[in-house]
Structure 1
Amino acid sequence: MFGRGKHPEAEILFVRDADVAVTALRRALADAGPEERPGLERAVALAERAAAATDTDVRARWVRERLAAVGYEGPADSIAAIKHLREAAPGLRLLSAVQLAKSAVAKDA
């Protein structure tokens, strides 16, 4: 998050590098002994699932995690949820918080 001037505005940048982890895990799996293979195969499957997530999936997960962290269980696009999101990410603009919340609701629909 980056701010400017007296009134910093936060933007959320979602970095997706699960494909790097998948590549590293596949290399490790190729060199693994029989005792390591089951765990590495499971790790590859989990990393592949993370790599397959869409941008909407990532944004929705971020919103749900922030709301769960404060114990909020209502609709992700409610006024209370927007307030919690902005508290979780100080400086997050109202418009950005609303867009992120709408992403989460759209994903859940």
Structure 2
Amino acid sequence: MRWLSVALLFVLALLQYPLWLGKGGWLRVWDVDRQLEQQREANAQLEARNAGLDAEVRDLKQGFDAIEERARFELGMIRNDEVFVQVPERGETAAAPAPPAEAPPQAQAKPSAKKAGR
């Protein structure tokens, strides 16, 4: 009876090996499911990015609003009838004003030192 139990246990172990560790075993199935879920998430992110790019392309082809917005914000352009006003930040106004320009001092010509090898 003892040998029969050992033999059946051995057969059970032989049958379980391919189920858990074989090429199509549960561990491989779980790993492939995990990879599939990661790929689906990556695809969803790429689809969202593509939808945004598609909307931008359609906007650039159909209307001038997107072109005007890019020209204003990326290139700093304004229309002919507009006036550009730049408001300095608070940190910039705290700086001391530049002193008034005076006449440039008379610079005397200094003899230049010759470099070795010339």
Q: Same fold (TM over 0.5)?
A: no
TM-score where L is the length of structure 2: 0.27
TM-score where L is the length of structure 1: 0.28
The structure with the largest alpha-carbon Rg is 2
